[in-house]
Amino acid sequence: MAVVGFEKRGEVALILVDNPPVNAISRQVRAGIIDRIIQVQEDPQVKAVILGAIGRTFMAGADIKEFGQPPLEPGLPAVLQALDHTPKLMVAALFGSALGGGLELAQACHYRIALKGTKLGQPEVNLGLIPGAGGSQRLPRLVGLKKALEMIVSGRPISAEEALEAGLVDRLAEGDILEAAVAFAEQMVAEHAALRRTSMLDVDTSDIEAGFFDAYRQKTAARSRGLVAPELAIEAVEAVTSMNFSDGVTNERRLFMQALYSKESEALRHVFFAEHVVRRIPHLDPMIKPRRIDAVGVVGGGTMGGGISMAFANAGIPVTMLEVSDQAIEAAKQRMRANYQGAIKRGKLTEAEVEERLALIRGTTNYEDFGEADLIIEAVFEQMDLKKEIFRELDRVARPGAILATNTSYLDTNAIAAETNRPGDVLGLHFFSPANLMRLLEIVKAAKTHPEVLLTAVKLAKRISKIGVISAVCHGFIGNRMLEGYIREAGLLVLEGAEPQDVDQVIYDFGFAMGPFAVMDLAGLDIGYMLRRQFPAERFDANAYRLLDRLVEMGRKGQKTGAGVYKYEAGSRQPQIDPVSEGVLAEERKAAGFPQRRIGDEEILLRCLFPLVLEGAKILDENVAYRPGDIDVVWINGYGFPAYKGGPMYWADKVGVGKIEAAIEIFGETHGGRWWQAGRLLKYLSREGLGFEEYYRQKFPSIYE
């Protein structure tokens, strides 16, 4: 089957890319388009040409798999040149997603028609890149400089309607896009429409005031900390004001190459693939199909139950939410309504859309109302006895084949499943707060969870716009288990002499949105306090929590009480250093008897991050996570690890596993071996000089397929 097909309908030729799943512009696609263009040029019968695609989408961009490999000829610029020089009228027929290089090819056609619902964008910055095939030069010529800049620097796609209004497309279509494109091309031929070459259009810069680019740079730098691509994108687009088209394209290519070989882009491309690979369940029998989920039940309408209900309602899935009383139902509904108000204020939803979503959530106090549910998620207090009791109830009322899930953060999912007569249908679905917004979902595979149930959860995660990562059962699963060491070291560092704001600053500078103390103030210091009292004391280093425990006992629970590690002015989320908490810290330092010293930024960083690697390696060795990239996905989407550093395991590979193992040994000698114990896998990789990703891909290639 040809990757680029060809067809003639009267005087109109169709060049149709057929490279599933997303028609990425691979080498064969590039070569195929060039060949087809040569073919139509030589055919005197052909008056117009459609550049289109078969399948679920127009071309969604360059083939990301080729980046970082030796270049394969012909390159995308050669295709654009062929398009730009063709003497036949060229129309791009857009549907699905016209992104990156796909949109650039469309821009090089003379006209564009798009099916309603098409998304058009230059998302390259999300991969640490900039448009590399003329997008920075052609897009401003079509939509104006400011709009092009916004699209390229934000990476956000626009709708077909917005594209029509901006001048990026010339016509909208409904129904069959190819039929509509042929009719449009025939009309243009009949009207002797000009071959409108985008490269020849003038750019309107009349609305660009003096200092515009400086101001734009400043605004962008503030929100794209640590990234080089947005700055390079601005530079590429700015060239439109001073260079002709051809110089602008050469300049863009130079900047594109700079972005392509940046550390950030390499890391972001790793994340892109890790977020796709994570959906694959190793060794799954291909005959297994997911179950249908048309109706969901949620037990508990608190912080998590409410957010989870919203997440399903947002995907159009009806929810029955069970609470202890009518009052509790009403309170839950009020909280959900208030959350939705925020989305209305931000212009993300209309009043009518919110009403539609709320109408999908029905409150009840009666378990019998779960009879129709295909999936029931329990999100009540973190108490084993209560959860067990609820699962016995659910087992009684749920229809055969319904899936039962717990949102527990730490409790043993196997013990919960054992309360039912259907342990194969039980698993953990660990959402993150706020559950309607956070992308991460840990899918906890209990010992007896049926693969069909696991597959259903993986598919469902995508349907509700989450990234599902499978974890086996262990204390804290992947994310919270790793968090313990990170928080412990932050706590010990401040007892040894570092200030909380120093620790937070180092972590912020590394790229996290917030440091550990600011995060704990936000989440509530009492949450960890209560948890620590539920688990055996030997799990924790009591010294690490001296400050936090004292603060909670003083009623300082974080932002919600106006003070925690920091203090907060009424209505503000801005942490301020607080002498009261400094006084408590001074007392606790004394009581712990730790010698005080100045602690450098490097030590702070490594003490906080190496425990992630240490624990991550154990998680892999114990088969709690399938792949190192899965751990990266968890920490990027659930804990704010900077995506442009690739996640903790990718970052460890870049630092060098051997170096980390050596540092852990030194920390063990200076701080005691209780926590600083490299496990089997870390030691092995260090000895063999291998990285996590390298080792897993070599040793277990099948888990990536």
Containing 12, the helix (H) or strand (E) segment is: strand 12-17
Question: Judged by CB under 6 A, does residue 276 bind ligand 3HC?
Answer: yes
Please state the closest distance from residue 265 (CB atom) to ligand 3HC, in A: 10
Q: Name the binder of 539 from ligand NAI, ligand 3HC, none, CB < 5-8 A by kind.
A: none
Q: Which does 76 bind (CB under 5 to 8 A by kind): ligand 3HC, ligand NAI, none?
A: ligand 3HC
Given 82, 90, 299, 678, the residue binding ligand NAI (CB under 6 A): 299
Single out the residue of 338, 370, 366, 330 nearest to residue 354, CA to CA: 338
The yes or no reply on residue 463 touching ligand 3HC (CB under 6 A) is no
Confirm or reject binding of residue 99 to ligand 3HC (CB under 6 A): yes
- Please answer whether residues 91 and 44 qualify as being in contact, where contact means their C-beta atoms are separated by less than 8 angstroms: no
Applying CB under 6 A, does 133 fall inside the site for ligand 3HC?
yes
Considering 42, 66, 124, 588, which one is annotated as catalytic?
124
Host H or E run for residue 306: helix 303-314
Nearer to ligand NAI, 33 or 483 (CB): 483
Strands, E assignment, 341-418 = 361-364, 375-378, 403-406
Q: Report if residue 74 touches ligand NAI, rule: CB under 6 A.
A: no
Q: Is 190 exposed, middle or buried (0-12, 13-18, 19+ CB in 10 A)?
A: exposed
- 637 is an interface residue for ligand NAI by CB under 6 A: no
Nearest to 323 by CA among 356, 369, 359, 354: 369
The least distance separating ligand NAI from the CB of residue 617, rounded to whole angstroms, comes to 24
Rounded CA gap, 438 and 337, in Å?
Answer: 18
323 binds ligand NAI (CB under 6 A): yes
Q: Among 132, 305, 485, 558, which residue sits at the site for ligand NAI (rule: CB under 6 A)? A: 305
Residue 328 contact partner, candidates ligand 3HC, ligand NAI, none, CB within 5 to 8 A by sort of partner: ligand NAI
Position 506 contacts ligand 3HC (CB under 6 A): no
**Contact present, 586 and 463 (Cβ < 8 Å):** no
Does 409 bind ligand NAI (CB under 6 A)? Our answer is yes
Q: Which two tokens stand for residue 304?
A: 């998590």
In the set 52, 101, 611, 628, which binds ligand 3HC (CB under 6 A)?
101
Q: Does 541 bind ligand 3HC (CB under 6 A)?
A: no
Gap between the Cα atoms of 52 and 35, Å rounded: 15
Q: How far apart are CA 462 and CA 452, in angstroms?
A: 16
Q: How many CB atoms lie within 10 A of CB 640?
A: 16
Looking from the CA of 33 toward its CB, the CA atoms found within 13 Å total 36
Residue 59 CB, shortest distance to ligand 3HC, in Å, is: 9
Q: For residue 529, count other CB atoms closer than 10 A to its CB.
A: 16
- Rounded to the nearest whole angstrom, what is the least distance from the CB of residue 523 to ligand NAI in the complex? 7
Q: Which residues of 135-174 are buried (b: 16+ CB within 10 A; e: fewer)?
A: bbbbbbbbbbbbbbbebbbbbebbebeebbebebbbbbbe
301 binds ligand NAI (CB under 6 A): yes
- Distance set, CA 207 to CA 139, 203, 211, 570 (Å): 16, 11, 12, 41
Q: Give whichever of 76 and 379 is closer to ligand 3HC, judged by the CB atom.
A: 76
92 binds, among ligand 3HC, ligand NAI, none (CB under 5 to 8 A by kind): none
Say whether the peptide bond before residue 21 is cis (omega within 30 degrees of 0). yes
Which window, 91-99, 240-248, 404-412, 547-555, contacts ligand NAI (CB under 6 A)? 404-412
Which of ligand NAI, ligand 3HC, none does 536 bind, CB closer than 5 to 8 A by kind? none
Helix 479-496 and helix 628-639, axial crossing angle in degrees, nearest 10? 60
The residue from 21, 286, 366, 381 that contacts ligand NAI (CB under 6 A) is 381
Give yes or no for a contact between 367 and 394, defined as CB atoms under 8 angstroms apart. yes
Binding mask 134-153 for ligand 3HC (x = CB under 6 A): -x------------------
Of 215 and 324, the one with the shorter C-beta distance to ligand NAI is: 324
Three-state secondary structure of 480-530: HHHHHHHHHHHHHHHHHCCCHHHHHHHHHHHCCCCCHHHHHHHHCHHHHHH
Q: What is the CB-side half-sphere exposure of residue 172 using CA atoms within 13 A? A: 15
Of the candidates 42, 104, 382, 603, the residue annotated as catalytic is 104
* DSSP 8-state symbol, 576: B
Residue 129: strand, helix, or coil = coil
- Answer yes or no whether residue 71 interacts with ligand 3HC by CB under 6 A: no
Annotation marks residue 355 as catalytic: no
Separation CA 403–CA 502 (nearest Å): 46
CA distance 36 to 29: 10
Stretch that binds ligand NAI, among 152-160, 293-301, 352-360, 369-377 (CB under 6 A): 293-301
CB of residue 409 vs ligand NAI: minimum separation in angstroms? 4
Q: Does 398 bind ligand NAI (CB under 6 A)?
A: no
**Calpha distance 454→426 (Å, rounded):** 9
Residue 124 interacts, among ligand NAI, ligand 3HC, none and using kind-specific CB cut-offs from 5 to 8 Å, with ligand 3HC
- Work out which of 127, 145, 255, 604 binds ligand 3HC, going by CB under 6 A: 127
Give the separation between CA 618 and CA 681, rounded to whole angstroms: 7
The stretch among 16-24, 140-148, 511-519, 570-578 that binds ligand 3HC (CB under 6 A) is: 16-24
Q: Is 11 a catalytic residue?
A: no
With DSSP H G I counted as helix, E B as strand and the rest as coil, what are the percentages for the chain, rounded to 5? 55, 10, 35
| Contacted by 21, from ligand NAI, ligand 3HC, none: CB < 5 to 8 Å by type | ligand 3HC
- Please choose, out of 125-133, 170-178, 398-406, 637-645, the segment that lies near ligand 3HC by the rule CB under 6 A: 125-133
Query: CB atoms < 10 A from the CB of 696, how many?
Result: 19
Residue 299 binds which one of ligand 3HC, ligand NAI, none, with CB within 5 to 8 A depending on kind?
ligand NAI
**Among positions 31, 46, 54, 64, the unique one binding ligand 3HC when judged by CB under 6 A:** 64
Whole-angstrom distance, CA of residue 91 vs CA of residue 78: 18
By CB under 6 A, is residue 492 in contact with ligand NAI? Answer: no
| Window 424 to 463, contacts with ligand NAI (CB under 6 A) | 430-433
> Does residue number 97 form part of the binding site for ligand 3HC (CB under 6 A)?
yes
**22, 48, 82, 332: residue in contact with ligand 3HC (rule CB under 6 A):** 22
The region of 225-233, 380-388, 684-692, 694-702 touching ligand NAI under the rule CB under 6 A is 380-388
Judged by CB under 6 A, does residue 313 bind ligand 3HC? Answer: no
**Partner from ligand 3HC, ligand NAI, none contacting 382, C-beta within 5 to 8 A by type:** ligand NAI
Q: Are the C-beta atoms of residues 482 and 635 closer than 8 Å to each other?
A: yes
Using CB under 6 A as the binding criterion, the count of chain residues that bind ligand NAI stands at 24
d(CA 566, CA 580): 9
Does 293 interact with ligand NAI (rule: CB under 6 A)?
Answer: no
Interacting residues toward ligand 3HC by CB under 6 A: 21-22, 24, 60-65, 76, 97, 99-101, 104, 123-124, 127, 129, 131-133, 135, 276
Active-site amino acid positions: 104, 124
The binding site for ligand NAI (CB under 6 A) comprises 299-305, 322-324, 328, 379-382, 386, 390, 407-409, 430-433
